[in-house]
Structure 1
Amino acid sequence: MLYIYNKSTNPYFNLATEEYLLKNFDEDIFMLWRNAPCIVVGKNQNTLSEINLNYVKDNNIIVVRRLSGGGAVFHDLGNLNFTFILKDGSENFSDFKKFTIPIIDVLKGLSIDAKFEGRNDITIDGKKISGNAQYSYKGKLLHHGTLLFSSNMVDLSAALNVKPSKFEGKSVKSVKSRVTNIEEHLIKPMSIEDFIDLIMKHIIKQYGGNNLYEFNESDIKSIEKLTEEKYSTWEWNFGASPKYSFKNEKKFDGGNVELFLNVERGIIKDVYFYGDFFSKNDVSEIEKALIGIRHKEDDIKGVLESFKIEDYFSNISEKNLLELFF
């Protein structure tokens, strides 16, 4: 087995790293890594329905989609991620417990009563510290999990908070869980760096060998290419969302406005405005102009800026109208 401590904290790069290792290495791999503040959404999720878009923008939180299914999770430097990549994929697929046992053993060694619970979680006193997900590729298995060590719980809660009634579709919805940080349950204080060392040593002892691997120039170049072409793109992180319908309603000085959207692969297919507002021109002109546009703030803003909004929505500003779309 190869052992990797990926020191990058770039979420786009790190998710690309997992795919690169899975598809280009024959060896079994164990990797530890951390991300700068970000939300990682599951492969089958509607990104916009999982995030608090305004909070994410205001706090410079990156949003990235992963290969595996499951729900959206918040990462920051107080959260440690672990990844197993193994050749016997079919044998271990959906066996989440097997991969959490070494982590639980480390925690028990720190006098923490951690348990595997539900389908894919590790808990302490009934509160979640780890969620796990898997992805299968050509007989190989990628299993990865989070470990909340000293995460910012305010960001974790606020960044994932969204009004679910705005969205209707077949995408996988995240399940809210009570969470806690590992550091709160330690008898003696420990840094996350020491915790990382402890886990790596335990895994090496369990699986044998001491093949610490560092990325070479070719690896980095390939990962950066995958980052640029896939993981940092709107098309992957937002556009790859399943088909969904979006509705929102707001009351402005100029009246009540309801918005209905049908969106496929991030592209607006249908747009309807309803309400008790007054208009000099027919709003269908704006509706038609929005069809084929990405459900993305800059794109929608660009369309709205091409119209004199006051002529279509009396006493309602372009900024007001833009708020309806998210």
Structure 2
Amino acid sequence: MYHDAGNLNFSFITDSGPGRLKNFRFFTEPVVRVLQSLGVPAQLQGRNDLVINGRKISGNAQFASGRRMFSHGTLLFNSDLEEFVHALKIKQDKIQSKGHQSVRDRVANIAEYAEREMDVPTLRKKLLDGIFAETGIRRYRLSANDWSGVREIMEQRFGRAEWNFGSQPRFNQQRAQRFAFGEIDARLEVRKGRIEQIRLLGDYRTRRERGASNGP
């Protein structure tokens, strides 16, 4: 999934009862109806994609544990699609099999189709108002005790490197780039998620060396 400041996410946490797990239509229909009310011709395509005129604006995924489940979706509202293309690598034959020649042709921003100008906070409010009105969900504001519990869980589990990065094996990384003044070859040694050593190699000269060669 791709995220930037022009991207909005929505999540439903609920019981994994009959007709909910793997039923993406159940969770995306309220979102689609709100978008359509804004003049955006969105629709569910395939199993878990929202599209506008065949161009993807949302991907959805689900996770279940015990009797509870989580359904999550993204919305490309006003994202940097050029960065999106660089960030995601999709097999070329998969793109062409769907009648598109590039990743850029295959995705779109909701803002391109909205009847009036809006920003991400406005879209968020529209979605909340529409979903709450349709489903009967009530707004709940976290209390001080709730936030205390959230912080405790974060400190004990979700804020720990072991949870977010796993075992963090040792590794080396190497990148080279040519500039007008020469090539720089950067080599990093990473241990436990920290860069412990950086070596810069190449055929470039430092500013002091260049000054010395130009001296009297």
TM-score by length of 2: 0.67
Where 1:298 maps in the other structure, the secondary structure is: strand
1:1-326 map, 5 Å: 73-89=1-17, 91-158=19-86, 160-161=87-88, 178-208=106-136, 211-239=138-166, 265-268=167-170, 293-294=191-192, 296-299=193-196, 301=197, 318-319=199-200
Query: Structure 1 pair 89/228, CA: closer, same or farther in 2 (3 Å)?
Result: farther
CA distance in 1, matches of 2:88, 2:37: 35
Query: Structure 1 pair 217/97, CA: closer, same or farther in 2 (3 Å)?
Result: same
Where 1:183 maps in the other structure, the secondary structure is: helix
Residue 216 of structure 1, CA deviation = 1.3
5+ residue gaps, structure 1: 1-72, 165-175, 240-264, 272-289, 306-317, 321-326
CA distance in 1, matches of 2:30, 2:64: 21
CA distance in 1, matches of 2:70, 2:140: 18
Count of equivalent residues: 173
Residue 113 of structure 1, CA deviation = 1.6
Where 1:135 maps in the other structure, the secondary structure is: strand
Residue 76 of structure 1, CA deviation = 2.6
CA distance in 1, matches of 2:85, 2:156: 31
Residue 89 of structure 1, CA deviation = 4.1
Where 2:195 maps in the other structure, the secondary structure is: helix
Q: Is the contact between residue 149 and residue 183 of structure 1 (CA under 8 Å) also seen in structure 2?
A: yes
Residue 139 of structure 1, CA deviation = 0.6
Query: Structure 1 pair 79/161, CA: closer, same or farther in 2 (3 Å)?
Result: closer
TM-score by length of 1: 0.46
CA distance in 2, matches of 1:90, 1:230: 31
5+ residue gaps, structure 2: 92-102, 173-188, 202-216
What code does the residue aligned with 1:75 have? H
Deviations 1:49-90 (Å, cap 9, x if unpaired)? xxxxxxxxxxxxxxxxxxxxxxxx222332211111112346
Provide the residue aligned with 1:258 in structure 2. none
| CA radius of gyration, larger in | 2
Cα-Cα RMSD: 3.0
Runs of 4+ that moved beyond 6 A = none
Deviations 1:204-253 (Å, cap 9, x if unpaired)? 121125x22111112222222333343343322332xxxxxxxxxxxxxx
Whose relative contact order is higher, 1 or 2, with alpha carbons under 8 Å and at least 6 apart? 1
Q: Is the contact between residue 121 and residue 130 of structure 1 (CA under 8 Å) also seen in structure 2?
A: yes
Q: Is the contact between residue 90 and residue 139 of structure 1 (CA under 8 Å) also seen in structure 2?
A: no
Q: Is the contact between residue 49 and residue 56 of structure 2 (CA under 8 Å) also seen in structure 1?
A: yes
* Percentage identity across paired residues of the two chains: 32
Deviations 1:259-315 (Å, cap 9, x if unpaired)? xxxxxx4324x99xxxxxxxxxxxxxxxxxx9xx54x4525x3xxx8xxxxxxxxxx
CA distance in 2, matches of 1:110, 1:227: 37
